[in-house]
Amino acid sequence: MSKQAIGVFDSGVGGVSIWKEITALLPFEDTVYLADSKNAPYGQKSKEKILEYCIKNTELLIEKGCKIVVVACNTATTNAIAFLRENYNIPFIGIEPAIKPAALQTRTNAIGILATRGTLSSELFHTTSQKFTAGIEVIEQIGEGIVPLIEAGQIDSPEMIALLKQYLNPMLDANIDHLVLGCSHYPFLIPTIKKIIGDTITIIDSGEAVAKQTDAILKERNLLNNSTSISHHKLYSNSQIETLSLMLQEWNHQYTIKKLNF
Ligand code: DGL
């Protein structure tokens, strides 16, 4: 079982930001990545629909022999991970907006969070937010329109810059000193975001924490691959594969990208 791959899925190419952290921390693990780009964005969909997609993705990863599933999508995690953990006999790692470190570190007592509607309206997000942000001003912003642009490969197009300015300027006015990226697509925007907010605001995403948690759970369950041979990575998209390839530029490991109907 320990030689089996780590399965990762997202509503599209966003989870690649998490997947890169996992492959960096665990270089001898094989992986299978599913980009459900056909159904992106999840963020605007109902909880029932999100659950349906998560079940479909999970069952495909299990069918492909994965030993663990990383839900590399905040929207999917906040809406479906409890169900997945209850119904499948395999460990799941989720991703949630890193609101706790931002709340603990803020000095201006104002933090911003950019995430999807599905994440910001979820019960799990509300519970976490309430727990850590008493007395702190939290500027929540739905990043409507961002994910489709990223899925189309637009990271710093004029349209993206205009959208980001619209979402981030009110946070600058509120004097935030931490910006939480609550969607796995958004780390690809960090250089563009920095052009708008500058270098003094700390940008926090959850990629590294998810990789560490994956490592910890694999160790705890005795599932870590102890081989030191070259790992293999299989990535599948159910839409066009160009954007997925774009996200992997400069990533020099062995991998294959294929289109697959799922
Ligand atoms: N990448 C996803 C997330 O982390 C979902 C974005 C979407 O499909 O709306 O929330």
Strands (E), 79-176: 92-93, 110-115, 137-142
Query: Per-residue pLDDT tens for 56-80?
Result: 999 999 999 999 999 999 999 999 9
| Residue 47: CA count within 13 A, CB half-sphere | 12
The Cα 53–Cα 40 span in angstroms is: 10
The Cα 31–Cα 54 span in angstroms is: 18
Note the Cα 108 to chain centre separation in Å. Answer: 27
For residue 10, the ligand 1 atom closest to its alpha carbon is 1
The Cα 247–Cα 29 span in angstroms is: 20
Which pTM value belongs to this model? 0.94
For residue 185, the ligand 1 atom closest to its alpha carbon is 1
Contact in structure between 128 and 98 (CB atoms under 8 Å): no
Contact in structure between 98 and 74 (CB atoms under 8 Å): no
Q: Is 66 a catalytic residue?
A: no
CA angle 65, 69, 73 (to 5 degrees): 140
Q: Is 54 a catalytic residue?
A: no
- Residue bearing the CA closest to ligand 1, atom 2: 73
152 CA → ligand 1 middle, Å:
14
The Cα 32–Cα 15 span in angstroms is: 12
Query: Per-residue pLDDT tens for 207-251?
Result: 999 999 999 999 999 999 998 888 999 999 999 899 999 998 878
Q: What is the mean pLDDT of residues 37-41?
A: 95
Ligand 1 contacts (CB < 6 A) are 10-11, 14, 40-43, 73-75, 116, 119, 147, 183-185
Burial class of residue 48, CB neighbours in 10 A (0-12, 13-18, 19+): exposed
74 CA → ligand 1 middle, Å:
6
56 CA → ligand 1 middle, Å:
16
- Predicted pLDDT at 259: 96
Residue in 54, 149, 179, 183 annotated catalytic: 183
- The fraction of the chain above a pLDDT of 70, given in percent, is 100
227 CA → ligand 1 middle, Å:
33
Does position 95 have pLDDT exceeding 90, yes or no? Answer: yes
Residue in 16, 73, 189, 218 annotated catalytic: 73
The Cα 126–Cα 122 span in angstroms is: 6
Cα dihedral sign for 82, 114, 151, 22? Answer: negative
258: three-class secondary structure by DSSP:
strand
For residue 75, the ligand 1 atom closest to its alpha carbon is 10
Burial 192-203 (b: 16+ CB within 10 A, else e): bbeebbeeebeb
Count H helices and E strands in the chain, helices first.
11, 10
Tell me the two tokens of residue 1: 């079982």
Q: Which of 129, 124, 149, 127 is nearest to 139 (CA)?
A: 129
144 CA → ligand 1 middle, Å:
11
| Residue 231 identity (one-letter amino acid) | S
Rg of the chain over Cα atoms, rounded to whole angstroms, equals 18
Query: Per-residue pLDDT tens for 5-36?
Result: 999 999 999 999 999 999 999 999 999 999 99
Query: Per-residue pLDDT tens for 122-161?
Result: 998 999 999 999 999 999 999 999 999 999 999 999 999 9
